[in-house]
């Protein structure tokens, strides 16, 4: 039997790997092929080495609080190359247009934090007395936060957090899909604060950021290596069509037949190659985001880059969405005597910032960094990685969109959606979903055998 996985990002690679493992365990003889459009696998994940710097084009790591990625890495035999973020990089900051303010890492510190005024804090503390929403309808992240903890919490805390994860706009993002945990806590406990107290989670961090000594590209190398000849690069798929009980896939001038197909491409691609999915895929918005790496002499930035990094509020007036102090977090990210600052610009609120011509972008970002951190002058090294369509933003109603698409695909039979367009944007979401999708594919193939 033959299974095709379209898209060689982390979602596609992990799913293909799990299909191989699960079908072997079930005694099924399944030949899996991954079709990747580019000349390399990894999609958004890629590590570039240049001038002694180790640069991530996309993600800097994953949290170790969910086990799926760690288990996959252990299975691949790549665990020894892992690297946990430095503990001293735990401090995180918010920039509000005037100054950098440390995010409270414990509930007690919230009371004395400058992050909100007294009235903003009192509004947050009213949260346990606010009745839970009765209807189960989806709502925006902004609507949820305003209902439960008020305007200042939205502007000063949740807004920047939404920028950090989705480069998104809380007014448009779906609560149920983008923050399912927050949605679930209100349903289960009636209040976020009551839930925190019951779960004794307080302000504890949700895990440790984890990467590899040689960067996140190591995860892709390990998976691609394990899949061997199953991976075809420079193999962009143009069309996926039903053919008898199976599927016909067109790449270049060839057609190939498969018993089952997993689609792990961005929504704007899926809508094109599988026209039946076009309507649902059009609902998913991808804002542009650009990553700008800046390398400075240690003497230039001494005392100016404390902790993990910072995020900015929408009203701060800066064109910098946030920055991480990469050399505080992981070793080997810069040559001896230098430090690396990784800046993000653009996103759903300021898409035009990501699309600036590179000279202008660089000077704008450096100006922003100088204003926020006090780092003066041009960096010794820079590298720009634009993502024209960066991270899928799940709009209000996303759960219904996904359900509709799943129903359609289920009726067609033998075709399974995967990828960050539908099931979470984190690397952990991709590795977790890969097991579920692979199990469904193996069960389907067993049925058609």
Tell me whether residue 402 or residue 427 sits nearer to ligand FAD (CB atom).
Answer: 427
Tell me whether residue 136 or residue 229 sits nearer to ligand FAD (CB atom).
Answer: 229
Tell me whether residue 10 or residue 196 sits nearer to ligand FAD (CB atom).
Answer: 10
- The CA distance from 449 to 160, in Å, is 51
SS (H, E, C) the chain: CEEEEECCEHHHHHHHHHHHHHHHHCCCCCEEEEECCCCCCECCCCEEEECCEEEECCCCCEECCCCHHHHHHHHHCCHHHEEECCHHHCCEEEECCCCEEECCCCHHHHHHCCCCCHHHHHHHHCHHHCCCCCCCCCCEHHHHHHHHCCHHHHHHHHHHHHHHHHCCCCCCEEHHHHCHHHHHHHHHHCCHHHHHHHHCCCCCCCCCEEEECCCCHHHHHHHHHHHHHHEECCCCEEEEEEECCEEEEEECCEEEEECEEEECCCHHHHHHHCHHHHHHHCCCECCCEEEEEEEEEHHHHCCCCCCCEEEECHHHCCCCCEEEEHHHHCCCCCCCCEEEEEEEEECCCCHHHHCCCHHHHHHHHHHHHHHHHCCCCCCCEEEEEEECCCCCECECCHHHHHHHHHHHHHHHCCEEECCCCCCCCCHHHHHHHHHHHHHHHHHHHHHHC
CB of 423 to ligand FAD, least distance (A): 9
Tell me whether residue 107 or residue 426 sits nearer to ligand FAD (CB atom).
Answer: 426
CB of 232 to ligand FAD, least distance (A): 9
CB of 62 to ligand FAD, least distance (A): 5
Tell me whether residue 49 or residue 137 sits nearer to ligand FAD (CB atom).
Answer: 49
CB of 122 to ligand FAD, least distance (A): 34
CB of 403 to ligand FAD, least distance (A): 19
Tell me whether residue 219 or residue 301 sits nearer to ligand FAD (CB atom).
Answer: 219
List, in order, residues 6 or more apart from 147 with CB less than 8 Å away.
130, 133
CB of 269 to ligand FAD, least distance (A): 4
CB of 429 to ligand FAD, least distance (A): 8
What would the two tokens of residue 30 be? 């399944």
Tell me whether residue 8 or residue 295 sits nearer to ligand FAD (CB atom).
Answer: 8
Tell me whether residue 9 or residue 170 sits nearer to ligand FAD (CB atom).
Answer: 9
Tell me whether residue 313 or residue 420 sits nearer to ligand FAD (CB atom).
Answer: 420
Q: Which residues bind ligand FAD (CB under 6 A)?
A: 6-12, 35-38, 43-45, 58-62, 236-237, 264-266, 269, 273, 289, 291, 387, 390-391, 419-420, 425-427, 430
CB of 103 to ligand FAD, least distance (A): 17
CB of 133 to ligand FAD, least distance (A): 28
């Amino acid at each position: 039997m033959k299974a095709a996985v379209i898209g060689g990002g982390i979602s596609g690679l992990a799913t293909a790997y799990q299909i191989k493992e699960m079908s072997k365990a079930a005694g099924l003889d399944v030949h899996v092929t991954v079709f990747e459009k580019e000349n390399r696998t990894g999609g958004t994940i890629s590590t570039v080495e240049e001038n002694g710097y180790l640069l991530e084009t996309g993600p800097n790591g994953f949290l170790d609080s969910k086990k799926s990625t760690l288990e996959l890495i252990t299975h691949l035999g790549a665990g020894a190359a892992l690297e946990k973020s430095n503990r001293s990089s735990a401090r995180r900051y918010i920039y509000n247009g005037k100054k950098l303010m440390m995010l409270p890492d414990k509930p007690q510190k919230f009371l004395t934090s400058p992050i909100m005024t007294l009235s903003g804090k009192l509004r947050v503390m009213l949260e346990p007395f606010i009745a839970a929403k009765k209807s189960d309808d989806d709502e925006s992240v902004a609507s949820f936060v305003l209902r439960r903890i008020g305007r200042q919490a939205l502007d000063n805390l949740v807004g920047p957090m939404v920028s950090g994860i989705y480069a998104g706009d809380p007014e448009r993002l779906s609560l149920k899909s983008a923050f399912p945990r927050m949605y679930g806590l209100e349903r289960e406990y009636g209040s976020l604060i009551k839930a925190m107290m019951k779960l004794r989670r307080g302000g504890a961090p949700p895990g440790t950021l984890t990467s590899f000594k040689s960067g996140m590209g190591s995860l892709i190398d390990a998976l691609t290596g394990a899949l061997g000849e199953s991976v075809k690069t420079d193999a962009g798929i143009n069309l996926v069509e039903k053919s008898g009980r199976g599927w016909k896939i067109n790449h270049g001038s060839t057609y190939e037949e498969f018993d089952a197909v997993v689609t792990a491409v961005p929504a704007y691609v899926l809508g094109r190659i599988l026209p039946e999915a076009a309507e649902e895929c059009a609902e998913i918005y991808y804002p542009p985001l650009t990553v700008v790496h800046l390398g400075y002499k240690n003497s230039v930035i001494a005392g100016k880059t404390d902790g993990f990094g910072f995020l900015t509020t929408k009203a701060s007036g800066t064109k910098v969405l946030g920055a991480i102090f990469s050399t505080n977090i992981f070793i080997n990210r810069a040559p001896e005597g230098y430090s690396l600052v990784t800046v993000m610009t653009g996103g759903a609120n300021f898409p035009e910032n990501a699309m600036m011509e590179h000279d202008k972008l660089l000077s704008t970002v450096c100006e922003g960094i100088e204003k926020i951190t006090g780092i003066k002058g041009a960096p010794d090294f820079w590298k720009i990685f634009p993502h024209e369509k960066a991270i899928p933003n799940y709009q209000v109603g996303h759960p219904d969109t996904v359900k509709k698409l799943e129903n359609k695909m289920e009726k067609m039979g033998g075709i399974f959606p995967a990828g960050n367009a539908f099931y979470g944007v984190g690397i952990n979401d991709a590795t977790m979903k890969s097991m579920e999708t692979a199990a469904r594919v193996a069960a389907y193939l067993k049925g058609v055998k």
